Structure 1
Amino acid sequence: MANAVYPLYKQALLDASSNVDVNDGTVKVALIDTGTYTYSSAHDFYDDLSGVVGTPQTIANTTVTNGLLDGDNVTFTALSGNTVEALVIYIDTGVAGTSRLVAYIDTGVTGLPLTPNGGDVTITWNASGIVQL
């Protein structure tokens, strides 16, 4: 699978649906074991995910400029669990069934795949940003 913006996120943007504005919500990143989760263009909310490794972390200081989402690097502390092959960016509402999936990222990330060993893991975003619409 290649990196993708979830199609139902793009549709929600065009429809002006709820929970689409990264500036109004808490943007998080989840680490994903692709042995358990398979990307689907039909997925729209966090409750569609499986294979989440560790606890998703907030991406602080998110910005959007010319359709490019960017934010601070993220550290997962004392990470253990299954191998991580992908990241999912989502807007957390506090409810899995309304926390909208934004992007699936499995290529171009330094250090993926990674096998957690109980140490800290830092996700360093590309200098050009996290995801571009």
Structure 2
Amino acid sequence: MANTLYDAARKRFLEGQLNWQTDTIKVFLVDTGAYTPQTSTHEYLSDISSSARIAGPVTLTSKSTVGGAADAADITFTSVTGASIEAIVIYKDTSSEATSPLIAYIDTATGLPITPNGGDIIVTWDNGTNKIFKL
């Protein structure tokens, strides 16, 4: 699968229900051996089993939207262990997995897949025009 936004997130952005700059946006690392993305039907964090979430969540900071591109400061997942990581999932945290909307699925990035060895994993977002993703 290529990097994409979840369909429900696209709808939420268009209807003003997601605000990249003011909402609490979090990221976790995913084992696709335990999670098969269904971006047209998966809508909430509860659609991804906890066993598929290898590291995180980490809260995004310094978010921006210049040129319609979502961007944020690079993030670090500390002391990561567990299964192989093949993807990154971004979501809006509402404090409930059943209502926390999934935003983006990224599986095509430098360094993916990666096998954790107990060290830190640093996610460096693209500095090109599309940043993390572009609407």
| TM-score, normalization by structure 2 | 0.91
- Pick the structure with more strand per residue: 1
How many residue pairs get matched? 130
**Alpha-carbon distance in 1 for matches of 2:116, 2:78:** 10
Deviation at 1:55, TM superposition (A): 2.2
Deviation at 1:66, TM superposition (A): 2.6
Residues 61-103 of structure 1: CA distance to partner in whole angstroms, max 9, x if unpaired?
1111232100011100100111000001111111111211111
Counterpart position of 1:45: 44
Gaps of 5+ in 2: none
**How many percent of aligned residue pairs carry the same amino acid?**
42
| RMSD over equivalenced CA pairs, Å | 1.2
Counterpart position of 2:121: 121
Deviation at 1:15, TM superposition (A): 3.1
Residues 1-35 of structure 1: CA distance to partner in whole angstroms, max 9, x if unpaired?
11111111111223334xx1122211111101000
SS in 2 for 1:102: strand
Q: Is the 8 A contact 1:27 1:62 kept in 2?
A: no
Counterpart position of 2:78: 77
Counterpart position of 1:35: 33
Answer yes or no: is 1:86 the counterpart of 2:87. yes
SS in 2 for 1:35: coil
SS in 2 for 1:30: strand
